[in-house]
Amino acid sequence: MVLFLQLSRRLPPAVIRPLARLTCAVAAKNSVAVPVLLAALLLGDDADVARRLRLAADRNVTDQNLTADKSRKLADIALAANRPELADLLLAGARQARGFKSALARRLWHDGNLSGAVAVLEGSGRAGRRQQARLAGEAALYTGAAPLLAPQEFTPVPGRVLHLLTNSLPHTASGYAQRSHSIMAAQQQAGWKVLAVTRLGYPVQVGKLLAHASDAVDGVEYRRLLPARLAPTMDVRLQQQAEELLAVALEFKPSVLHTTTHFVNGMVARAVAGALGIPWVYEVRGQLADTWAATRGPEAQESEKYRLFQERETDVMRDASLVVTLGHAMKANIVAAGIPGEKILIAPNAVGGAFLEEPLDTTSARRELGLPEDGLYIGTVSSLVEYEGLDDLVRAFALLAPEFPQLRLLIVGDGVACPALKEQVRGLGLADRAIFTGRVPRDLTPLYHQSLDVFVVPRKDLDVTRAVTPLKPVEALASARPVVGTDLPALREIIDDGGNGLLVPAASPGELANTISALLSNGSRRASMGQTGRAAVLAERTWAANANALATRYAELHHEHEENQ
């Protein structure tokens, strides 16, 4: 079901959304047919999905036409919709269904009950045994299974750094990929020889079937690990990845290995660096255990997966030669996990390239992009996921719309929350005043920032958002645009309340609207805040400055490592 949704989101919205809307329109109001539920999911109509699933769950008792097999399929849809309580009700009527154990294992895995998901597949048929082996291999990584490599005869070349990445440009245009590229481009400009290697099977595994063995972007080389055959389970596949990365390292001869969250990358880097006898760096860009838990509710923090996830992250941070992170809130969390503060370097999200150039005024930027030039624009450039709180931005926009008849909402980016946001805007009767661009070429990102009058970061109040500092508001400040954001520790590191922007309480669309209104009504204040923010970013947050700080620590690590040999 998840695969279906991912593939559907890759299709042109102009085709898939009208088709999904037509499917829901012609279906009976009480239909629980699988195609109807999938169409509602694609539209982001969470309320309709939940209503139909609950109707199906009630029919488990009263309607003999709802077979056990269909209940099992609907339970999988409920999980894809992140409605586990409805999946439980539907699974109760699916005990006699073919594949019931597989569905139950998926339900337990969703909750982070790794060992329970593996155990429930005991005695399954062939497909169940394959699923059990796959889940057991992944669970093994959470319990400490790690790649092992024999020591190698190796002489590193000073001034060379090998980066191990989860994904990268040009195939993935995420904040993660952009940060990686910006760091490496700055290192290369500072005189380092840089090579990036992405995880095993990427980007073929994300649908780029014709990907080459390497790519070059702005002079940075990305090497792909694309063996003829992938190992069948995650634990063995990680060993395969370590062996492949070791072969690249023996050819490239780095003096330091640099990788990023999450811990599986750290396990591979640790094994390869250990075999070569060189230092390695673990860059903590997010609290991915908290990111996972944020989609499941507070009880997820009591789960087996969450506990093991945290333990493995601590293991690799402890073993790394240096830990790099994004801000003071994240550093505090790392220190709380037992990592010495002197071992941690803050390399904040920063800017470079076009963001260093003098920004255009809003009218000129909109003209370059072909957007309507008149009126006021509020919005964001972001991954469209639930914890970003963009539903609160849409509600604030609805409150502002009568006060500012020429106000437009501009949302740049894509993600799983996009269909629901579009449906929310449509339901409020504001579709003609909202612009959803989807993903845009990265060279156009500065222009989208410059098209806005106010950049908004309405994040939810969660563990992950309290700690992780995002990149895009830093780019907005570099574009001389004021930022309105949620009053969270991580955002306080970026937004100086009353200086370069304003802070508001989380999940408060009314206060968000009032704060934005005050800025929209005062053009001189917006301009002053924008200039203040730009000056601070150019002074404190550039990729070149980060590259210099990293180069200093790399040299120290290399020197310390040689002394200890």
What token pair was written down for 143?
């319990």
pLDDT in tens, 445-482: 999 999 999 999 999 999 999 999 999 999 999 999 99
pLDDT band, residue 207 (cuts 50/70/90):
confident
Architecture of domain 160-346: 3-Layer(aba) Sandwich (3.40)
Q: What is the pTM of this model?
A: 0.92
**Which residues, 6+ apart, have CB-to-CB distance to 208 below 8 Å?**
171
Compute the distance between CA of residue 408 and CA of residue 290 in angstroms, rounded to an integer: 33
Whether pLDDT at 383 is above 50: yes
pLDDT of residue 61: 47
pLDDT of residue 1: 66
pLDDT band, residue 164 (cuts 50/70/90):
very high
412 forms beta bridges with 381, 438
Do the domains 160-346 and 2-142 match in fold?
Answer: no
pLDDT in tens, 169-188: 999 988 899 999 999 999 99
User: Is the preceding omega at residue 171 within 30 degrees of 0, hence cis?
Assistant: no
pLDDT of residue 10: 64
pLDDT in tens, 227-249: 999 999 999 999 999 999 999 99
Name which of 242, 250, 256, 337 is nearest 557 in CA terms: 256
Helices 34-43 and 13-26: angle between axes, nearest 10 degrees: 130
Compute the distance between CA of residue 76 and CA of residue 56 in angstroms, rounded to an integer: 13
Residue 339: exposed, middle, or buried by beta-carbon count in 10 A (0-12, 13-18, 19+)?
buried
pLDDT of residue 7: 65
Work out the percent of the chain whose per-residue pLDDT is above 90.
Answer: 82
Check whether domain 2-142 has CATH 1.25.40, yes or no: yes
Domain boundaries, the chain: 2-142, 160-346, 355-541
| CATH, domain range 355-541 | 3.40.50.2000
Average of pLDDT values for 79-86? 93
pLDDT averaged over every residue in the chain: 94
Compute the distance between CA of residue 32 and CA of residue 65 in angstroms, rounded to an integer: 11
Average of pLDDT values for 114-134? 95
Compute the distance between CA of residue 93 and CA of residue 75 in angstroms, rounded to an integer: 10
Average of pLDDT values for 254-270? 97
Whether pLDDT at 393 is above 60: yes
pLDDT band, residue 15 (cuts 50/70/90):
confident
Compute the distance between CA of residue 263 and CA of residue 234 in angstroms, rounded to an integer: 13
| Contact (CB, 8 A) for 521 and 486 | no
pLDDT in tens, 341-351: 999 999 999 99
pLDDT band, residue 62 (cuts 50/70/90):
very low
Name which of 527, 301, 518 is nearest 403 in CA terms: 518
The three-state secondary structure class of 484 is: strand
User: Is the preceding omega at residue 147 within 30 degrees of 0, hence cis?
Assistant: no
pLDDT of residue 205: 87
pLDDT in tens, 533-555: 999 999 999 999 999 999 999 99
Which of 130-139, 143-152, 198-207 comes out lowest in average pLDDT?
198-207
What token pair was written down for 80?
């894809």
Given its phi and psi angles, is residue 271 left (phi above 0), alpha (psi -120 to 50 degrees) or beta? alpha
Whether pLDDT at 319 is above 80: yes
Whether pLDDT at 264 is above 50: yes
Whether pLDDT at 530 is above 80: yes
pLDDT of residue 175: 87
Average of pLDDT values for 117-138? 95
